[in-house]
Amino acid sequence: MSAIVPGEAIRELLKTTDVSTLEAAIEEGFRAFTAGRATIPFPAHLDFPEGDCHIKYGKIDGEPYFVVKVATGFYENQKRGLPTGDGYLTIHSQETGRLQAILLDEAHLTDVRTALAGRVAAKYLAPKKEGTIGVIGTGIQARLQLLYL
């Protein structure tokens, strides 16, 4: 039977995982993509009057799994007292295609991955001298970019 991992469990695991471990995983993904070992097709996209849904998927050659991500953004949800973003990931065996797990991350892994990608970009592209960072915006990415930097 496939595991179903709720968002709270994912958040707790991320809190207890060393940031350098997360950073290394993001760096390895960039290396695989640059070396041509990653297959990341163009996302599927559905538009709605109130928001959108996109489906992204990919694999890295030689890894045991591939991932399919469904993410939504319904920006009027704030008026309903609901989060504006939601989502989940399905993890499948590259050998058999069988579903291994469903991560009900509620878009949190996407937010963290984006912030960690910013950390990796700053590591390699920002000036080496310590200084000041400016953040434009006040949303989740503004907070997470600073947190992970």
Average pLDDT over residues 27-42: 96
How far is the C-alpha of 7 from the C-alpha of 103, rounded, in Å? 7
* 2 has a pLDDT exceeding 90: no
Distance of CA 36 to the CA centre of its chain: 20
Identity of the residue numbered 23: E
Q: Tokens 């207890």 — which residue?
A: 16
In CATH, what number does 3-148 get?
A: 3.30.1780.10
* Domain boundaries of the chain, sorted by first residue: 3-148
Supply 112's token pair: 């963290």
How far is the C-alpha of 112 from the C-alpha of 10, rounded, in Å? 11
What's the pLDDT tens digit per position in 54-110?
A: 999 999 999 999 999 999 999 999 999 999 999 999 999 999 999 999 999 998 998
pTM across the whole model: 0.86
Kind of pairing between the strands at 51-60 and 65-74: antiparallel
Supply 95's token pair: 């050998």
What's the pLDDT tens digit per position in 114-144?
A: 999 999 998 998 888 877 777 887 788 888 8
Q: Can you name the residues that pair with 59 across neighbouring β-strands?
A: 39, 66
Q: Tokens 């704030």 — which residue?
A: 78
Asked if 23 contacts 116 with a C-beta cutoff of 8 angstroms, the reply is yes
